Amino acid sequence: MSPTNRPRGPQRFGFDSMLKFTIRRILSGVVLLFAVSFVAYFLLHLGSGNVARNLLGVNATQADVAQLNEQLGLNRPFFVQYTDWLTNAIQLNLGDSWSFPETVTESVFGRLHVTLTIVGITTILAALVSVVIGVLAAVRGGWIDRFVQFFGLIGFAVPGFLIAFFLVQVFALQFKLFDAIGYTELGDDPSGWVKSITLPVIALAFGGIAGVSQQVRGAVKDALEMDYVRTLRARGLSFSRVVYKHVMRNAGGPALSILGVQFVGMMGGAVVIEQIFAIPGLGPFAVSATRATDIPAVMGLVITTAVIVVIVNLVIDLLSAALNPKVRLS
């Protein structure tokens, strides 16, 4: 298209551009899922060793090992195994677990809601707290700004499991305000559910708030130095209106991007946090499946997590494109 015929102004950022941007992001997400599944299956295949021997134990005879290898299809070439798994996965069949009584789908989705509940609440909490303290640090400066920077350093330096141990020791064992371990379903006991997730959420949110608040602070400070802020102030708009209507809109894109990165980190951190608090989510399941060299279970966990991450990143990309139409051209 020649420069004279290229759409200008609002036409470049209308519905068509948003639709094309969405399609590009969906296609890139699908490609990413295929890449993740191939790499994960290849690494599991390389590092699994003698799976049948691991499942049967050291006292199993070689004949029993050979029979199990044939039964599980482990004596077939790698690409045949991967193609069979991928074909079934596309049909939403993740196969049978080698170490759990349920199918992989039942095992994963029976625990997924617990992990998503904790990670979802943690993400919302981290976003709200980070926006508040990040904007205050950028706008007011002073001790609030110094606190946010110090908190950011502590959040990056201190591992989440140490925060979890501290919270359990103080608030669960000493003051007995919350449950130290276990998980209560919301439908069974709402107050017990709140008590069972409070400490895990705080422990998981600590690092996320540190990272996102730093990004919000930096984005708002950069936006406040732009020429349009001085122009709007010269036209008589109040400082608060400029900040909340214009500056935060422009600073929202970078903040959403780092929030997406933090969500991926929280999904990984949930594995450790759930182990510490004995929460029956994907964390203990992942550890048990990996220890048992249960390739179908591990692959089911990997691809489910990858789908969730792709969906979350797609939502964040769409929100960023809505806040800043120029993102749609990327």
5-9, 26-30, 125-129, range with the lowest pLDDT: 5-9
How far is the C-alpha of 272 from the C-alpha of 165, rounded, in Å?
11
Residue 31: the pLDDT is 96
Mean pLDDT for 33-47 is 91
**Does residue 133 fall inside a structural domain?**
yes
**Does the pLDDT at position 49 exceed 90?**
no
Of the given ranges (59-63, 216-220, 261-265, 280-284), which has the lowest mean pLDDT? Answer: 59-63
* Predicted pLDDT of residue 55: 73
> Rounded to whole angstroms, how far apart are CA atoms 290 and 298?
6
Q: Give the range of the structural domain holding residue 109, as residue numbers without chain letter.
A: 11-329
In the chain, the amino acid numbered 236 is G
158: left (phi over 0), alpha (psi -120 to 50) or beta: beta
Q: Higher model confidence: residue 237 or residue 50?
A: 237
CATH of the domain at 41: 1.10.3720.10
Q: Is residue 75 part of a domain?
A: yes
The pLDDT-based confidence of 48 (bands split at 50, 70, 90) is low
Residue 5 forms part of a structural domain = no
pLDDT grade for 99, boundaries at 50, 70 and 90? confident
* Dist. CA 47–CA 290, nearest whole Å: 11
pLDDT above 50 (res 1): no
Mean pLDDT of all residues in 198-218: 91
- Report the pLDDT value the prediction gives residue 179, as an integer from 0 to 100: 85
**pTM of the model as a whole:** 0.84
Q: What is the pLDDT of residue 259?
A: 83
Q: Is residue 4 part of a domain?
A: no
Angstrom distance (rounded) from CA 127 to CA 255 = 9
Query: Average pLDDT over the chain, rounded to whole?
Result: 87
Res. 14 pLDDT band, cuts 50 70 90: low
Number of compact structural domains in the chain: 1
The pLDDT of residue 328 is above 90: no
Residue 33 lies inside a defined structural domain of this protein: yes
In the predicted model, what is the mean pLDDT of residues 298-309? Answer: 95
Closest CA to 183 of 279, 109, 274, 110: 279
Tell whether 1 is covered by a domain.
Answer: no
Expressed in angstroms, the distance from the first to the final Cα of the chain is 18
User: Is residue 131 a part of any domain in this protein?
Assistant: yes
What pLDDT, on a 0 to 100 scale, did the predictor assign at position 2?
47
